[in-house]
Amino acid sequence: MATLQLIDHLLFHFINHNLSNPLLDRLMPFVTNNVPLLFVPVLLFLLIKDRRLFVITLLVATVSLSLTDSLSNILKHLFQRPRPFVDLKDAIVLVGKGRSYSMPSSHASNSFSVALVLCYFISKLRDSKLKGLFSIYALTVALVVALSRVYVGVHYPSDVIAGALLGLVTGGFVLYGYSLFSGLFREKKSYALTLIFLFALSLLRILYIQYGPLDLSPDEAHYWDWSRNPALSYYSKGPGIAYIIRASTGVFGNTVSGVRLPAVMFMFLSSLIIYRLSFLISERFDGFESERSRHAVSFLNVVLFNITPLFATFGVINTIDSPLIFFWTLSLLLFWHLVAEWPLKKRSNWWWILLGLMVGIGILVKYSMVFFTGSALLYLLFNREKRGLLLKPGPWMGFLVSVIATTPILLWNARHNWVTLLHTAGQAHLRDGLTLKPARFFEFLGSQLGVIGPVLFVLMLLALYWSFKQKREEGFLFWFFFPTFLFFLLKSLQGKVQANWALPCYISGTVAAGLYIYSHWKSWKNRGRLTIISGIAISLFITLVAHYPALIGLPPKMDPSARLRGWKPLGREVSSIVREFKRPYFIFSDRYQITAELAFYVNGKPRTYCVNLGRRMNQYDLWPGFYDLKGYDAVFVQWGKSPLPPLIARSFDECKRRLLTVKEGRYVLRDYSIFICKDFHGMKRELPDRF
């Protein structure tokens, strides 16, 4: 390894120093700063020769470029290799010094990716003697761009070699996908459109995660902190999300992309399952006798699924709902596979075991997965044709497997005084008794109109009633909607129900809505069609605003996404403070949200702590604390402009407040009170008495 590094440094010195001359000192910065311009002659050549091929080339090259750029940025954060000018004091730097890492070179990867795509489509031209010349030109541009990155002093030779290989592999993958889709498009147009739509959408989501305006949400940061402390379970949730994030960050690094990429994957896979489920179920309804219509409605449902604000959010935000959507949709497909043809076609018990495993893993992710078991039971009980399955061993074997899969939660709770049950009881307001709060009821209904879209929400209800009356699919979609929705609707009469708690039921609601729209479209008059189109447009608009709230300039108090912004500035501020400390220190807050965000965004990703000042219990109370770190300095962070709590003041020699105000345009996003505290005296640990 040391030998390779030495060779790398010697080659860098040769290119950066020995090849240096006035001509290249002007040429290489121009090349490195004007890469798109250098490929214009090739694009103009394609445009002149074949306009259709030019458009296809431009689209494929854009996809290849976007994918390559995303992958190179992910790999940069994974390898975290410093730039040459950081390590080598004699490096000659002729362009701006970027803050990103060095391995691999994005310029090299992007150039080779685009060059490969251009060469491929140039070869498709007929009767052109200049094909070879322009192909050589495209590859030469990629080579010169790669060389320029070393010459101007911002990359090592190994960085550009790795980038070139990445670009060639990614470009080859995209071209293979293009050839695959071309054939598929001729045979199964709707399925090909679905795959193109999902790949394009996934790519946009990856780019949004990397360059969008949202920091990690407090819950994402909290679950990431869990992933650094593997356990059988955790205070408020099962271990599923922690292990998903741990696996992802193990590959992609402790970055925002590393935390969130599973959300993109889960949404992509869930969409494919929605397609398959819609295709199978649609056969039971009138008007879907042909495969073409069944493929078409499946594509429609995938689009509806991805533009619905509630689901679209979890295509980029990786909380427990992202994997829940996947395991619910997969379990739904498996259950349909098992019951649709019964008793004419009986499935192996291994399918029931697989279903039980998926449900069990879903419960490890989020406890609301238990509603799937309840819905499945009600479906079997209320259908005479399927009721006999309850006398067969398969369903009970699956149920047993799901219970066994959740034993980590039980074992962990048995060792921690069943705190999850106490927390769940607190969340369910069981201590409040049978109180009625009508305002909460209407608040819940209003939130559902917001996260689904008002027209689409009403349409789902109509569609589910219509599907239930059809009888031909035995109310399958209805029973996987109604029990979950009714539970949370009634629960809202007693206490607050979060907008996303009823999320699983809308999966079957989306399938029903697509079937209803497709089967009635021809019979509806212009007013009915306009209503549906406007409803879908409203849902899409809500989704766009949720991703880019600046589109309408919502004030932070009215903007739900505001809680996902303003954390990076806090991390930078605290990082600058602790750099000045001469003694050991720790960082803490009185809120788990701030504690988790500080752990992620402060340089070095330190262990942070959450002090109990009268709040509810959280996961930080079950981990080792800071209470015995006598003599340490500390940074204590609170929301707002609150004074220092007396308990904190008594525990240090002195604490000085620094106010941080994070603004977005003319709005104040958030105020933080940052207290710089000296010489910790120690503190008695007090566990919260509220759950």
658/655 Cα distance (integer angstroms): 10
Residue of 155, 295, 423, 547 with catalytic role: 155
d(CA 217, CA 225): 12
Say how far apart CA 590 and CA 613 lie, in whole Å.
Answer: 7
- Closest of 332, 326, 416, 312 to residue 373, by C-alpha: 332
Q: For residue 395, which of 408, 385, 386 has the smallest C-alpha distance?
A: 386
Tell me whether residue 243 is exposed, middle or buried, using C-beta atoms within 10 angstroms of its C-beta: 0 to 12, 13 to 18, 19 or more. Answer: middle
Strand pairing report for 585-589 and 652-664:
unpaired
- Give the dihedral sign, CA 199/180/182/60: positive
**β-strands 608-610, 585-589 pairing:** parallel
Is 416 a catalytic site residue?
A: no
- Can you say whether the dihedral through the CA atoms of 500, 502, 508, 510 is positive or negative? negative
Rounded CA-CA distance 4/2 in Å is 6
Among 9, 17, 77, 107, the one annotated catalytic: 107
471: left (phi over 0), alpha (psi -120 to 50) or beta: left
SS (H, E, C) 369-421: HHHHHHHHHHHHHCCCCCHHHHHCHHHHHHHHHHHHHCHHHHHHHHHCCCHHH
Side chain identity at residue 152, one-letter code: V
Q: How far is Cα 574 from Cα 581, in angstroms, rounded to an integer? A: 11
SS3 of residue 587 by DSSP = strand
Tell me how far apart the alpha carbons of residues 544 and 482 are, in angstroms, rounded to a whole number.
29
Nearest to 149 by CA among 66, 33, 298: 33
Tokens for 47, please give them: 């445009």
Alpha helices in 50-105 (DSSP H): 51-79, 84-87
Residues annotated as catalytic (active site), given as ranges: 107, 155
